[in-house]
A and B are shown apart, each in its own frame.
Chain A
Amino acid sequence: NAGVTQTPKFQVLKTGQSMTLQCAQDMNHEYMSWYRQDPGMGLRLIHYSVGAGITDQGEVPNGYNVSRSTTEDFPLRLLSAAPSQTSVYFCASSLTGTSSYEQYFGPGTRLTVT
């Protein structure tokens, strides 16, 4: 199993550009989520999904869109990049229905918006 994979590893965008961060998992996990990690802020939840066709907002959803058409994939779209979106983005997955929601993280995408 590859676990959780993310592409790209690094990305530089100009203000106003759009892009999609890819996330895939091969563990047949129902629950997937996106976090951003900023210095001194910890991990903050952007969006999450409890299964194909179902998504919901997390703590910091503004400026981001998600969709979940398959169990395996959960892409994160930046609609119009802003410098405030410079961050490291992590995708994670876990089994739904467990009380502990243990999460398996991808390696991250480091995004810089200039």
Chain B
Amino acid sequence: TQLLEQSPQFLSIQEGENLTVYCNSSSVFSSLQWYRQEPGEGPVLLVTVVTGGEVKKLKRLTFQFGDARKDSSLHITAAQPGDTGLYLCAGADYGNNRLAFGKGNQVVVIP
């Protein structure tokens, strides 16, 4: 089983602040995805990163895939209350029809 470690588990910040959360593994992935989950709902895909070193931006969210394809980070600029949620990273293995999920980063943005 491939393990994805997400840190920090819980993060509470004030509106307008910046934050970064991390997803790390000892395994190499063919791609890595980030999902956001709100209470009572299923996860929703935010982004997929495929190439080592790749950086993708989604409005105020910046996603980076590590050069070695083992880790990723999510940076939120000027966080807003609507960014509150559980952020999950998931790694896809070469030739394996499975996604391995981390336990998530719970982010709370206080107005």
> What is the interface of chain A, defined by CB distance below 8 A to chain B?
4, 31, 35, 40-45, 48, 50, 56, 58-59, 90, 92, 96, 99-108
Contacts and interface: CB of A to CB of B under 8 A. Distances in A.
Contacts of B30: 99-100
A41 B103 contact: yes
Contacts of A59: 1
- 5 residue pairs, one from A and one from B, having the closest CB atoms: A105-B42, A42-B103, A43-B101, A100-B31, A100-B48
Contacts of B43: 43, 90, 103, 105
Interface in B32-71: 33, 35, 40-45, 48, 50
B102 to A, nearest CB: 6
B92 A99 contact: yes
A86 B35 CA distance: 24
B99 interface: yes
B1 A100 contact: no
Nearest to A96: B97
Contacts of A99: 30-31, 50, 92
10 contacts: A40-B103, A43-B101, A99-B31, A100-B30, A100-B48, A100-B50, A100-B92, A101-B99, A103-B43, A105-B44
Contacts of A101: 31, 92, 97-99
